[in-house]
Chain A
């Protein structure tokens, strides 16, 4: 049905998940306050936000584990609460802090969960993909944190789903284990599985996600690509250099568009500004034929955008789900 240019084809890309106006309250606490987002086929869709922003509740609604108080969720065109077995065959879920009995062996767990599905993936091949082939006979309780997490990912994928939901995948993992897990997620997408990735780590989202929704206090405050979000938020950043000529004057730089401040730090000139000021500064230097050394432009990161969108700088390591509470399923 897609015709014409690739751009048009992208516009009509199928949406596997549609969530509109989700609200959910637990007692007097509002977990979701009108959250809307859509996940396109084949992408890694990030759900980013501070603790308590409603991320987990949102994906629990998508997974059919919770019923929103109001609003509508469609997953593969169905209501996840009524989708029944058909939907659970095609949606794999890795829950935050879900464990297995310590005594179960990796191979046993995979074979068992594979038996739940009509058309499972070859679980040995899956363990191979996730770098767990050497641990088939190991008990779950003896695995490292990163290995356990990859077993969790494997269990979410063993049914060969079209959509995989991965919640707080790398919370509590060391940097090496995080990188291993990231590689595993990227390979999942390369197999054509659509992924929803819940995270409160900027670097994780920036590296893995094609698009992301930023959650704050139960609402979606922005949906965009990581680069788009960085561009959209006009955060100040810094450019610095060392002038070759000792008589360098700061004055002309101050008048350039976007420049906020020009300061000296030791022998360096530090220019702070917004928007495309860095281009203006380098062009001005070139026009005046001023030679500079060691020119540095600080990369703009998602952190700045995130802080601007949510007014929250807290991206600490505490991931034990303050946005999860008990309640009836």
Chain B
């Protein structure tokens, strides 16, 4: 199991795809963060010091941008990395080959999941740190709520990735489905343009998607204040439903 984890980690790092899940959200953060605020945060800073132009909880604030970036990063891991890796392992017969050894193929899936969650955590931490150091967004005001949002968000979004992996016939198809699904999900979730600038009906519908609920919960926890349980409940429901569907439809070969 340990040997499997070491080799799989090496394989993940050896392929450049994982870099994009970190670089793309950081790029979004840098481009919009540095051009919009000129390095100051109208919504954050030391909070009650002055009357900020945009409240930190608003989707157009720099905090809102940071929450968008984290959501983008995790969504990229969940929509691209997870399904492409798992579906191609099945396509290449790697799971079947493992089934003939003393090690069970489920061990490989477990190692991959732990690894991808680890990648999600690293990407999230990098973006939070960059937001703090590069753009001046303070660390999340409510770390506990932030952690809860992160855990449930990873669970819900990985559910999407696992379902794609279960249904896609091969690695290439999984990748294609991931791309096709990412863009509408990202738009509905307010990752393409801030929710405040979206038609109200679209924005309202977006709240109920896994990615939309994730961004909303991250932003609320980042800005602080009362935690709205609705996005957390939505993510938990998605996580359970998607994981059950993925388990139901998963094929080993």
Interface residues of A (CB under 8 A from B): 63-65, 85, 88-89, 91-93, 95, 97-101, 103-104, 108-109, 111-113, 115-118, 155, 159, 326, 328-329
Contacts and interface: CB of A to CB of B under 8 A. Distances in A.
B92 A100 contact: yes
A329 B102 contact: no
A329 B99 contact: yes
B100 A88 contact: yes
Contact of B100 (A65, A97, A101, A328): A65
A112 B4 CA distance: 7
Given A99-B94, A328-B251, 20 more contacts: A65-B96, A85-B102, A88-B102, A91-B100, A92-B100, A95-B96, A95-B97, A95-B100, A98-B94, A101-B89, A101-B92, A103-B14, A104-B7, A108-B10, A111-B3, A116-B102, A117-B101, A159-B101, A159-B102, A326-B251
B166 to A, nearest CB: 13
Closest 4 CB pairs of A and B: A98-B93, A93-B100, A99-B92, A115-B3
A326 B94 contact: no
Interface in B68-98: 89, 92-94, 96-97
A104 B11 CA distance: 6
Contact of B93 (A95, A108, A116, A118): A95
Contacts of B93: 95, 97-99
Given A113-B101, A326-B251, A101 B11 contact: yes
11 contacts: A99-B92, A100-B92, A103-B11, A108-B7, A108-B10, A112-B3, A117-B101, A159-B101, A159-B102, A329-B99, A329-B252
B158 to A, nearest CB: 21
Contacts of A95: 93, 96-97, 100
The secondary structure that dominates the A interface is loop
B194 to A, nearest CB: 39
B96 A98 contact: yes
A89 B251 CA distance: 24
B173 to A, nearest CB: 15
A305 B4 CA distance: 47
A93 B96 CA distance: 10
A98 B92 CA distance: 6
Contacts of B11: 101, 103-104
Nearest to B253: A329
Contacts of B92: 98-101
B119 to A, nearest CB: 16
Interface residues of B, number: 21
Contacts of A113: 101
B35 interface: no
Chain A CB within 10 A, most for which of B4, B93, B102, B251: B102
A306 B94 CA distance: 34
Interface of B: 3-4, 7, 10-11, 14-15, 89, 92-94, 96-97, 99-103, 251-253
A118 B92 CA distance: 26
A88 B101 contact: yes
Chain A CB within 10 A, most for which of B4, B11, B89: B11
B35 to A, nearest CB: 37
A28 to B, nearest CB: 21
B175 to A, nearest CB: 15
Nearest to A86: B102
A292 to B, nearest CB: 57
B97 A155 contact: yes
A117 B94 contact: no
B229 to A, nearest CB: 40
Contact of B253 (A88, A99, A326): A326
Contacts of A103: 11, 14-15
Nearest to A88: B102
Nearest to B88: A101
A139 B50 CA distance: 59
Contacts of B97: 93, 95, 98, 155
Nearest to A87: B102
B102 A117 contact: yes
Contacts of A118: 102
A109 B10 CA distance: 12
A328 B249 CA distance: 11
Contacts of B14: 103
B217 to A, nearest CB: 35
Contacts of A155: 97
A113 B3 CA distance: 9
A89 B96 CA distance: 16
